Amino acid sequence: MKMGRFIVDTHVHAQRFAAGKAFKEKKIDTDKASYNDLALAIRGLVAYDNSPRLIYDMDCYDVDMCVLLPAFGMSNEMNAELVEQHPDKFVAVCSAMETAKKSRMGEEPWTIEAAAKEVDKLLATGKFVGIGEGVPNDTMRRKTMSQTERLDQMRVIMDVARKHETVVQVHSGVVMGYPLTHHNWPETLHPMWISDLAVEYRDVPIVINHGGIQGWWTERFYEEALLVAASNDNVYLETGLWWAELYRKALIDPNIGAEKLMWACDWGASIPFHSQPGNYPSSYAVQIRSKKLVKHQVDVWGWSLKQLLKLECTQDDLNLVLGGTAARIYKLTVPHSRLFRPVGKELNPQEEGRIDVAPTCC
């Protein structure tokens, strides 16, 4: 049985890297390569189209649509091409990938103004439904960044989102394998910082990538993400890497609920799952630093959907988590009206562009 009426994964990477050649050039044995080696190699690789595997999994698990995200080394152009080829399956968000590439190649110094200009231009094409993954950042920076400095950078991107009336994704959580510092993406370690932006930009929807859980078992970032979502009407949480118990707390919170949650599994990322039956949680996503790199396509959807099967919520709530919230926030076209429990103030569907039902009821 299909888990929901209209299923959307809002965090998908349809591009993938083949690192073997780069490892060989650096004289690194692939079987002995670390996650640090992989993180450094990826920045110089060219991503390839991994959508055939993605579409296969969509058929396997009855996933109707995916929101495609770029990540380091990936391109907006490839995602836009995939949307054009499969408009019924994909939409995409964009980021300042060319600005990052020029900085990495030493062609131009990275600035938030250049990043904002690139994102503004991309959104003006009408080919993208938001800004992500996370807020553009200087991946080459090696100096610790303060909260004030980073939030001022993020405000520049928030202004672009406000101009285009679109969604901004902010990253949270860690995977444990790739290095993560306060040099360039400090907000991922401090979800609470997002509360300032949420209050200042109440008209801009903010999605916290991973809902505080990208990898590992700590609930520190998750708790902070819940607080920000509960205290701000314009903040939403991705949930695909949550184990079952994490959903329950958010679903019963009267200031969060299903209408602020969206299924998003980081499909395509190289994050395996660790199993520890009899312990809490019984399994979770994490890069294990002492083990070999993952070479296969991790089955994140199979794991995540099994977590949802453990919930004792209504199907109408589950439908919102699996697709309804995403359809409303990203203004997706859905097959029929009235598929989802109404949320908030009703709007005129004719005013909402691509969507064919009122966003408040989809």
pLDDT band at 23 (very low <50, low <70, confident <90, very high): low
pLDDT band at 43 (very low <50, low <70, confident <90, very high): low
What are the Cα distances from residue 317, in Å, to 210, 213, 261, 267? 19, 21, 10, 23
Residue type for 129, please? V
Burial class (CB in 10 A: 0-12, 13-18, 19+), 280: exposed
> Which tens digits make up the pLDDT trace of 218-258?
999 999 999 999 999 999 999 999 999 999 999 999 999 99
Task: From 9, 5, 6, 33, select the one nearest 302 (Cα to Cα).
Answer: 9
Strand partners, 130: 167
Residue type for 91, please? V
Mean pLDDT throughout 50-78? 96
107 has a pLDDT exceeding 60: yes
Residue % of the chain over a pLDDT of 90: 78
Q: What is the pLDDT of residue 358?
A: 36
362 has a pLDDT exceeding 70: no
Q: What is the pLDDT of residue 19?
A: 66
338 has a pLDDT exceeding 60: yes
234's CB contacts (< 8 A; 6+ apart) are 198, 201, 202, 203, 204, 205, 206
Mean of the per-residue pLDDT values for the chain?
Answer: 91
Whole-number Å distance between alpha carbons of 344 and 63:
26
> Which tens digits make up the pLDDT trace of 131-176?
999 999 998 899 999 999 999 999 999 999 999 999 999 999 999 8
Question: 8-361 in CATH: which number?
Answer: 3.20.20.140
Burial class (CB in 10 A: 0-12, 13-18, 19+), 142: exposed
Whole-number Å distance between alpha carbons of 208 and 191:
8
Mean pLDDT throughout 327-345? 92
For strands 8-12 and 167-170, give the pairing. Answer: unpaired
What are the residue ranges spanned by the domains of the chain? Answer: 8-361
> Which tens digits make up the pLDDT trace of 266-314?
999 989 999 999 999 999 999 998 888 888 999 999 999 999 999 999 9
Mean pLDDT throughout 94-104? 94
Structure-block tokens of residue 174? 């860690």
Helix (H) or strand (E) holding 247: helix 244-252
Q: DSSP string spanning 324-361?
A: IHHHHHHT---SSSS-S---SS---GGGSTT-SS-GGG
